[in-house]
Amino acid sequence: MIIQTSSKDMELLNFLHDELELTEKDMALALKHRQSDNEPLPMLLWQYGLVDLEQLEQILDWLYKEI
């Protein structure tokens, strides 16, 4: 399955990989579920236990700065 991502999503994925050290497998899982559930990626990462609350806060802070 090919998962399409926007340039903003790619920036977020790079942040997740570089700063939070998430694996490509973890990110692909969240992206796959986002397509079927239409949920925000940070919440999916947290719901599936791929990030903890501290990491979720880091992601949300990063997103806020990018607005």
> Concatenated DSSP letters for 16-67?
HHHTS---HHHHHHHHHHHHHH---HHHHHHHTTSS-HHHHHHHHHHHHHH-
pTM value > 0.85: no
Residue 37 has pLDDT above 90, yes or no: no
DSSP 51: S
Residues 57-66 have a mean pLDDT of 94
pLDDT given for residue 18 in this prediction: 95
CA distance 35 to 4: 9
CA distance 36 to 66: 26
pLDDT 10s digits, 10-26: 899 999 999 999 999 99
Residues 34-62 have a mean pLDDT of 91
Residue 30 has pLDDT above 80, yes or no: yes
